[in-house]
Amino acid sequence: MDFSEPSEAVQIKQAIDDFIDQEVAPLETEYDEFLGADYEKHIVDDDHRQVPEYRALVEEIRQKSVEAGFYGMTMPEEVGGGDVDILTRAIVGEHVANRPPGFHSAIFGGAGGPTPILLACDDRQREAYLEPLMAGEITTCFALTEPGHGSDAHHMDTRAEKDGDEWVINGQKVYITNGPYADFAMVFARTSGEDGDLGGITCFLVDADTPGFEVGTIHRAMGMTPGTHAELHFDDCRVGEEQVLGEVDHGFQSAMDWIGGGRINIAAGAVGTAQFLLDMSVEYARNRETFGKPIGHRQGISFQLAELATDIEQTRQLYRYAAWKMDQGERARKEESMAKLRGAKLANDAADIAMQVHGGAGFMKDLPIERNYRSARVFRIFEGTDEIQRRTIARELI
């Protein structure tokens, strides 16, 4: 069994380091108000919408990433992607997460960038949506979650009814990442069957300027980049048959496949974040002295760091095994959920331990620990809560 990193992952990590040093770091220096202790008040206006200067900066990094070949690198070569496998993408994601908060999160596009769901596009849809998305000219959003249905997404209130050659969509989505800024949304709605059926759900490509489609409240989220999540409202929103992605009534499985891959990326990002916090804490423990010796020599500190280092390595091997199984074409639903469950706990534990090791210094906004402390909490919620992961693991076992 070979535990070494794929050579492609090693090469991409080096290339991304060079890219960040040459293209992203200068922007971080120039626009440090977007990253500092009071970054939140600089990023959004009174309506919680991101200010144009920040949006322009994100778009600039996205275009640089497209030119460098990192944007959409997991997509097939036939659509302009790099055809990078799931394991390599996860390893690269861990590597990028192992650094202080910065603009590097825009390199891959996040929830607004290319997604394998769109490989179901027909020729016209590829030209209208997928090609400009791959070129970084437009962005999208994944509109699945509803106010009354988060974890039980197949109990969906949003409906689409056929009216001649059109579909009429009515409903509401909530907490949609990139919702305020997407040029089009991938909207999931029930088109047939009974409430709770896994079938009978269809994905529609809905342009942001379609009558009846409006962005509602832009949410204030804890720890995450402000102004990113929003409610989406559909009031007699009419779209043509040509806006159906894939087959009618068969959209839910594609949504779950997207979420499954996202769980691995979350686990990888959690490992990278935890490694960053561990490295900070180890360095601090080496140099901070109390009562005549470094605090790292005291078991109360060193044992916490030892446990954290062990947890990081365990979760790293778990997410990589899950990614490897997926790349082999094997079912990995159990391993995806295990990796996400452990990764979510790891990110929170790492932030807590780092703050405790740093003491009062860790509680201050001068260090990135408190920001990571707030950001880590959502790991236990999105792409399926801890409880949903345990439920999935139990179902796979039984």
Is 297 in the same domain as 229?
Answer: no
Tell me, yes or no, whether 226 lies in a domain. Answer: yes
The answer to whether residues 306 and 368 belong to one domain is yes
Query: What distances in angstroms separate CA 295 from CA 87, 358, 364, one per listed residue?
Result: 37, 10, 19
For residue 239, give the nearest of 346, 324, 165 by alpha carbon. Answer: 165
pLDDT at 1: 65
State the residue range of the domain holding 36. Answer: 7-108
Considering only CA atoms, which of 167, 168, 158, 248 is closest in space to residue 200? 248
Q: Are residues 257 and 390 in the same domain?
A: yes
What pLDDT score was predicted for residue 346?
98
Q: How many domains does the chain have?
A: 3
pLDDT digits (tens, 9 = 90+) for 70-100: 998 989 999 999 999 999 999 999 999 999 8
- The answer to whether residue 159 sits within a structural domain is yes
Q: Same domain for 159 and 195?
A: yes
Burial class (CB in 10 A: 0-12, 13-18, 19+), 55: middle
What are the tens digits of pLDDT across the range 341-379? 999 999 999 999 999 999 999 999 989 999 999 999 999
Q: Is 196 strand, coil or helix? A: coil
The amino acid at residue 181 is Y
User: Which of 249, 281, 300 is at the close of a domain?
Assistant: 249
Q: 30: helix, coil or strand?
A: helix
What is the biggest distance separating any 2 CA atoms in the chain, rounded to whole angstroms?
81
Tokens of 175: 């907490």
The pair of structure tokens assigned to 222 is 């804890």
In a domain, 130, yes or no: no
> What's the CATH number where 349 sits?
1.20.140.10
**Residue 167 placed within a domain:** yes
Q: Does 239 share its domain with 279?
A: no
128 inside domain? no
Residue 209 maps to which CATH number?
2.40.110.10
Q: Is 292 part of any domain?
A: yes
**186 & 238 share domain:** yes
Strands 184-190 vs 140-143: parallel, antiparallel or unpaired: parallel
195/263 same-domain check: no
Please tell me whether residues 383 and 281 are part of one structural domain: yes
Torsion angle in degrees (nearest 10) through CA of 387, 389, 395, 398: -90
| Rounded-to-integer distance, Cα 32 and Cα 42, Å | 10
Tell me which of 225, 249, 273 is where a domain ends.
249
> Can you give the pLDDT at residue 325?
95
Task: List C-alpha distances in Å: 197 to 28, 154, 193, 389.
Answer: 47, 6, 6, 20
Q: Per-residue confidence of the chain (398 residues) as pLDDT tens digits? A: 678 899 999 999 999 999 999 999 999 899 989 888 888 889 999 889 999 999 999 999 999 999 999 998 989 999 999 999 999 999 999 999 999 888 888 898 777 999 999 999 999 999 999 999 999 999 999 999 999 877 777 788 999 999 999 999 999 999 999 999 999 999 999 999 888 777 899 999 999 999 999 999 999 888 888 899 999 999 999 999 999 999 999 988 887 777 777 899 999 999 999 999 999 999 999 999 999 999 999 999 999 999 999 999 999 999 999 999 999 999 999 999 999 999 999 999 999 999 999 999 999 998 999 999 999 999 999 888 999 999 999 999 99
Q: Which tokens go with 30?
A: 């120039």
The enclosing domain of 66 has a CATH number of 1.10.540
Answer whether residue 118 is part of any domain. Answer: no
Q: How far is Cα 174 from Cα 185, in angstroms, rounded to an integer?
A: 13
Same domain (yes/no): 269, 229: no
H-only helix segments in the chain: 7-19, 25-30, 39-43, 52-68, 86-97, 123-125, 131-134, 252-287, 299-327, 333-358, 360-363, 369-376, 386-397
298 and 243 housed in the same domain: no
Catalytic residues: 383
pLDDT of residue 84: 94
Give the SS3 label for residue 253. helix
Residue 119 lies in a domain: no
Per-residue tokens: 377: 């909490």
Q: Are residues 165 and 30 in the same domain?
A: no
- DSSP-assigned states of every residue in 91-128: HHHHHHHSS-S-GGGGSS-GGGS--GGGGG--HHHIII
Domain identity same for 32 and 101:
yes
Single out the residue in 91, 108, 125 at which a domain terminates.
108
Q: Which residue in 253, 163, 237 sits closest to 202, CA to CA? A: 253
As a whole number of angstroms, the distance between CA 150 and CA 152 comes to 5
Determine the residue type at 143: A
Exposed e or buried b per residue across 365-390, where buried means at least 16 C-beta atoms within 10 angstroms of its C-beta:
eebbbbbbbebbebbbebbbbeebbe
Tell whether the torsion through CA atoms of 234, 236, 237 and 242 is positive or negative: positive
Q: Name the strand (E) or helix (H) holding 206.
A: strand 201-207
Query: In this structure, what DSSP letter does residue 50 have?
Result: B
